[in-house]
């Protein structure tokens, strides 16, 4: 009798397991001329309330119908994302913007003209049709018109504004390759469209254009300097480069969460290049004495200066766009190879360098030392 019950329980468990595990369709497309049947399939899944991960020029997004609260809730479940962290609605033409916001302010018009389509997200007052499930209960909505051909084709095929956070499990580095999405979300979403590596590699700049003075909420490839050149002046939200703090309420709710935390302890080393190299080599020796698996995040210029540690090359230190494109791939690699402690060089904070240092600080949990 007991045996019969055990067998019955096993059968129920495996049936439930089968039911919970979803089959994820994986399709690879050309990044310039994507296969139309794949695009139409992705569009149909989105119309039916499903989840589709797709490439954008910044990072891969996890898309759902941005006007359907149930579809948006599925995004939070698949990612394990806190429900007060709002989503960005992605559009593929300017007319769509009119239907999801209440007002397009003068500063919004200026930056749209200069930088859309592209890696810039704008926060504007939301229209009634946008559900609070997409905005985390806020009266504003974040909107982006991406440049990536595959992203635009999928949004166009769906005929909808597409809510899409980065397509990673909550807390992991944003995915810049379809393989990263497979690793985090396979069997949790309906479809993954692989359109090759994301060219920018860092999430979009977020600018709040609801008030008189635009406020930068998250730095990205549309840099502070570029925004100032079009808008005259902007403010930087105080939460941008501060350690997450319960007392501090950032205007972009997502900025309060610890992001991009590899399992390895990451430590940023500031100072003159030769001092940094010397200091890191000393720290490597100490870590090895303690039996720890140690790594270094370095540039092309310095990669051969470190000894007895795993060296991960971020790129040419004078080409922030190269460092940006490689950063999240390398942060993921730290865990794949099981490093325990990683020392990182730091980069010039002008232009896109500001976004790179913002993400590196978050990855390190603001663990910084001076050489
Ligand atoms: O590049 C990107 O922006 C990528 C791709 C897929 O487009 N998406 C992305 O989404 O990075 P996500 O969800 O990982 O980050 C969205 C950020 C969060 O920090 C969130 O708090 C902020 O945007 N956000 C969304 N709606 C907002 C709003 N109404 N007001 C202020 N911040 C908002
Ligand atoms: Mg994200």
Q: 67-103, pLDDT tens digit by residue?
A: 999 999 999 999 999 888 999 999 999 999 999 999 9
| Orientation of helix 224-231 relative to helix 106-115, angle to 10° | 120
Whether residue 175 has its Cβ less than 6 Å from ligand 1 = no
How many other CB atoms are found less than 10 A from the CB of residue 197?
17
> What is residue 248's predicted lDDT score, i.e. its pLDDT?
65
Q: How far is CA 208 from the centre of its chain?
A: 18
Closest CA to 195 of 71, 27, 331: 27
**Cα–Cα–Cα angle for 221, 141, 65, nearest 5°?**
95
> What is residue 253's predicted lDDT score, i.e. its pLDDT?
72
Q: Whose CA is nearest to atom 19 of ligand 1?
A: 254
DSSP string, 136-151: TT-SEEEEE----HHH
Whether residue 209 has its Cβ less than 6 Å from ligand 1 = no
- Protein residues with C-beta less than 5 angstroms from the ion ligand 2: 166
> What is residue 12's predicted lDDT score, i.e. its pLDDT?
47
Please, what's the b/e burial string for 318-353 (b: 16 or more CB within 10 A of its CB; e: otherwise)?
eebbbbbbbbbbbbbbbeeeebebbbbbbbebebbb
Residue 253's SS3 state is helix
| Orientation of helix 149-158 relative to helix 36-47, angle to 10° | 50
Q: Residue 309 is inside which H or E element, if any?
A: none
> What is residue 44's predicted lDDT score, i.e. its pLDDT?
98
Residue for token pair 């808008």? 231
> What is residue 256's predicted lDDT score, i.e. its pLDDT?
64
Whether residue 172 has its Cβ less than 6 Å from ligand 1 = no
CA–CA separation, 92 and 133 (whole Å): 21
Q: Whose CA is nearest to atom 12 of ligand 1?
A: 165
Characterise 326 by phi-psi region: left (phi > 0), alpha (psi -120 to 50), beta (else): alpha
User: Which of 53, 139, 165 is the pocket-test mutation for ligand 1 (most atoms within 8 Å of CB)?
Assistant: 165
Whether residue 118 has its Cβ less than 6 Å from ligand 1 = no
Strands in 341-345's sheet, in edge-to-edge order, are 310-315, 294-299, 341-345, 265-270, 368-370
Q: Whose CA is nearest to atom 17 of ligand 1?
A: 254
CA of 30 from ligand 1 middle (Å) equals 27
> What is residue 241's predicted lDDT score, i.e. its pLDDT?
79
CA–CA separation, 235 and 302 (whole Å): 35
Whether residue 72 has its Cβ less than 6 Å from ligand 1 = no
**Tens digit of pLDDT at every position of the chain (371 positions):** 444 544 544 454 444 444 467 999 999 999 999 999 999 999 999 999 999 999 999 999 999 999 999 999 999 999 999 888 999 999 999 999 999 999 999 999 999 999 999 999 999 999 999 999 999 999 999 999 999 999 999 999 999 999 999 999 998 899 999 999 999 999 999 999 999 999 999 999 999 999 999 999 999 999 999 999 999 999 999 888 777 666 666 677 766 666 677 889 999 999 999 999 999 999 999 999 999 999 999 999 999 999 999 999 999 999 999 999 999 999 999 999 999 999 999 999 999 999 999 999 999 999 999 99
Atom of ligand 1 nearest to the CA of 146: 7
Residue 52 phi, psi dihedral angles, 5° rounding: -130, 125
Q: Whose CA is nearest to atom 7 of ligand 1?
A: 61
Considering every ligand atom, which ligand is closest to the CA of 207?
A: 1
User: Quick one: tokens of 76?
Assistant: 């939070």
Q: Whose CA is nearest to atom 13 of ligand 1?
A: 165
CA of 271 from ligand 2 middle (Å) equals 30
Whether residue 59 has its Cβ less than 6 Å from ligand 1 = yes
CA–CA separation, 114 and 122 (whole Å): 13
In whole angstroms, how large is the CA radius of gyration of the chain? 22
CA of 165 from ligand 2 middle (Å) equals 6
Residues in the chain: 371
Residue 255's SS3 state is helix
Contacts (Cβ under 8 Å, ≥6 apart) of 291: none
Q: Whose CA is nearest to atom 22 of ligand 1?
A: 252
CA of 121 from ligand 1 middle (Å) equals 8
Determine whether 73 is exposed, middle or buried from the number of CB atoms within 10 Å of its CB (0-12, 13-18, 19+).
Answer: middle
Considering every ligand atom, which ligand is closest to the CA of 136?
A: 1
Q: Where are the alpha helices (DSSP H) in the chain?
A: 2-20, 36-47, 69-79, 94-100, 106-115, 132-135, 149-158, 178-185, 224-231, 273-289, 320-336, 353-363
């Amino acid at each position: 009798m007991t045996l019969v019950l055990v067998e019955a329980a096993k059968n129920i468990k495996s049936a439930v397991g089968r039911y919970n595990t979803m089959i994820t369709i994986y399709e690879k497309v050309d990044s310039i001329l994507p296969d139309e049947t794949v695009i139409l399939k992705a569009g149909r899944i989105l119309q039916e309330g499903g989840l589709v991960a797709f490439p954008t020029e910044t990072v891969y997004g996890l898309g759902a119908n941005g006007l359907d609260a149930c579809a948006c809730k599925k995004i939070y479940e698949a990612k394990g994302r806190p429900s007060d962290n709002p989503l960005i609605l992605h559009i593929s033409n300017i007319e769509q913007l009119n239907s999801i916001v209440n007002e397009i302010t003068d500063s919004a018009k200026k930056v749209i003209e200069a930088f859309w389509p592209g890696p810039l997200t704008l926060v504007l007052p939301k229209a009634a049709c946008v559900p609070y499930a997409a905005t985390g209960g806020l009266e504003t909505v974040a909107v982006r018109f991406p440049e990536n051909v595959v992203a635009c084709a999928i949004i166009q095929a769906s005929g909808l504004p597409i809510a899409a956070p980065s397509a990673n499990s909550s807390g992991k580095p944003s995915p810049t390759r379809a393989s990263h999405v497979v690793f985090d979300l396979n069997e949790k979403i309906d479809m993954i469209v692989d359109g090759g590596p994301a060219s920018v590699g860092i999430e979009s700049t977020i600018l709040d254009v609801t008030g008189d003075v635009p406020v930068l909420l998250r730095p990205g490839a549309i840099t502070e300097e570029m925004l100032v050149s079009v808008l005259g002046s902007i403010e930087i939200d105080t939460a941008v480069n501060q350690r997450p703090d319960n007392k501090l309420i950032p205007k972009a709710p997502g900025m309060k969460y610890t992001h991009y935390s590899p399992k390895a302890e990451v430590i940023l080393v500031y100072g003159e290049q030769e001092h940094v190299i010397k200091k890191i080599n000393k720290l490597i020796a100490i870590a090895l004495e303690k039996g720890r698996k140690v790594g270094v995040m370095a540039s092309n210029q310095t990669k051969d200066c470190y000894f007895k540690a795993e060296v991960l090359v971020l790129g040419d230190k004078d080409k922030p766009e190269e460092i940006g494109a490689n950063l999240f791939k390398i942060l993921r690699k730290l865990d794949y190879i099981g490093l325990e402690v990683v020392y990182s060089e730091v980069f010039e904070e002008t232009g896109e360098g500001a976004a790179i240092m913002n993400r590196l600080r978050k990855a390190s949990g603001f663990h910084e030392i001076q050489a």
